[in-house]
């Protein structure tokens, strides 16, 4: 079974690593048909967050960083935002990303994300 077949039957996306290192070897070791095999797996363990949910979380973090900008810099929130953008970048097969920031008096806060492809052209822009 191919990864795209698994995701179509399961109704959710899984990481390449989980599919290649866990799901496919397990499937090959069983005598179950594709549909029965997919039913045996724990969705909570393998399902990736939908991209819309990740974007919503990114917007919440950006709002928090904007609100706290003049008081302190929340480095944990900035790191989490970077992790979420990196996850989207990897999942859509893009080359990299830039988090655009605005300056207010003495601080910077994120306003958008640009994800770019191999030719360094923007393939996705997310307004925060």
At residue 106, the pLDDT reads 82
Angle (nearest 5°) at CA 122 between 16 and 97: 55
Domain boundaries, the chain: 3-46, 51-127
What is the structure's pLDDT at 70? 86
pLDDT reading at 109 higher than 90: yes
């Amino acid at each position: 079974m191919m990864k795209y077949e698994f995701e179509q039957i399961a109704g959710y996306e899984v990481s390449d690593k989980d599919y290649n290192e866990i799901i496919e070897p397990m499937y090959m070791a069983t005598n179950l048909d594709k549909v029965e095999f997919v039913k045996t797996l724990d969705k909570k363990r393998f399902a990736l967050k939908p991209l819309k949910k990740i974007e919503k979380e990114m917007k919440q973090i950006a709002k928090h960083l904007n609100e706290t900008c003049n008081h302190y810099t929340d480095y944990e929130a900035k790191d989490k935002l970077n992790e979420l953008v990196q996850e989207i970048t990897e999942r859509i097969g893009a080359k990299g990303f830039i988090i655009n920031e605005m300056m207010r008096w003495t601080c910077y806060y994120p306003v958008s994300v640009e994800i770019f492809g191999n030719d360094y052209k923007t393939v996705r822009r997310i307004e925060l």
